[in-house]
Amino acid sequence: MNPAQTAAKVIIAGAGPGDPDLVTVKTVKALRWAEVILVDRLVSEEILESYASPNAEIVYVGKQCRKEGTTPQATINELLLEYALLGKKVLRLKGGDVSIFSNVLDELQTLVKHEIAYEIIPGITAALGAAAYAGIPLTARQHSTAVRFLTFYTYSKLTEEYWQELAQTEDTLVFYMSSERLGEVVEKLTRHGISEEKQLAVVEQATTPLQHVQTSSLYDYQKNLGDKTFVSPSLVIIGKVVHLHQQYKWFTNNPTREHYFKPISEQVGLVLQ
């Protein structure tokens, strides 16, 4: 192992779901420590402005479905390695939590392969932020005693047998990265006989000033929300607990269609040659 490898360290940290006040104290310390910060698109600019060292190099490595400028995961892995081997203090800052739909395994494998020391700092994941700011407990007596985190980003991961199980379970279902295909999610669940007692909520830009929550029964989805396009990021909650939103909502619903997080096209990316 060369001296640079011995000195190298990477911190992988979650920045929370949007509201900059939800970032953890430990991640704030990491922001002040870091010389290089590789940052996702879904991280509040206010977090970087408030806590990053003024001398830190900010490298935008965001991803946005089907958008030009998205940074491939392989490039992110290469950047982590390149800066670490220069002996830099590297912070990989991810939106939400690092272990929920974040590709953290690819980055860990790269660091372990090259014997780079690392630390993982958890963050508040989008599901917990969205549920809290929408007044929807993900588990509640007489409503649900468990919750499942899922995605319908690709067809291959969920079999018809599993869709049938999802339709019949009493667990709360939380779908990440699935709003563009929500009509398909609803069709599969209703086709498999999901209870009419269950509702869905779409939480757009959760915990930010632009948060917007829309609810519907699954069987009236096409009439109520079928023609809607949801602002990214959007998170979907399905279950009996969604009924609690009307009674316990506390955060102002913002109907504007502006984007809280800058699109990829407005961020400055760095790509290895």
Q: Which of 19, 40, 88, 97 is catalytic?
A: 40
- Evaluate if residue 64 carries a pLDDT over 90: no
* Partners of 203 in beta bridges: 213, 235
Strand order in the sheet with 89-94: 57-60, 36-39, 89-94, 9-14, 117-121
Helix (H, G, I), strand (E, B) or coil at 89: strand
**Domain 3-124 annotated CATH 2.40.50.140:** no
Cα–Cα distance measured from residue 22 to residue 9, given in angstroms and rounded to the nearest whole number? 25
The whole-number pLDDT of residue 65 equals: 55
The whole-number pLDDT of residue 199 equals: 98
Cα–Cα distance measured from residue 115 to residue 110, given in angstroms and rounded to the nearest whole number? 9
Residue 66 — pLDDT band, cuts 50, 70, 90? Answer: low
- Give catalytic status of residue 94 as yes or no: no
Torsion of CA 137, 138, 143, 144, to 10 degrees: -150
Q: Which two tokens stand for residue 185?
A: 């999610």
Q: Which of 29, 63, 249, 262 is catalytic?
A: 63
Domain assignments of the chain as residue spans, ordered by start: 3-124, 127-248
DSSP sequence for 110-167: HHHHTT-EEEEE----HHHHHHHHHT--SSBTTTBS-EEEEE-SSSTT--HHHHHHHH
Contact 143, 241 (CB under 8 A): yes
Residue 270 — pLDDT band, cuts 50, 70, 90? Answer: very low
pTM: predicted TM-score of the whole model, two decimal places? 0.92
Per-residue pLDDT tens over the stretch 150-182: 998 765 578 899 999 999 999 999 999 999 999
Per-residue pLDDT tens over the stretch 233-252: 999 999 999 999 999 999 99
The whole-number pLDDT of residue 60 equals: 95
Fold of 127-248: 3.30.950
- Give catalytic status of residue 40 as yes or no: yes
- Evaluate if residue 1 carries a pLDDT over 90: no
The whole-number pLDDT of residue 8 equals: 77
The whole-number pLDDT of residue 155 equals: 57
Selected residue with higher pLDDT from 64 and 128: 128
The whole-number pLDDT of residue 269 equals: 47
Mean pLDDT of the chain: 92
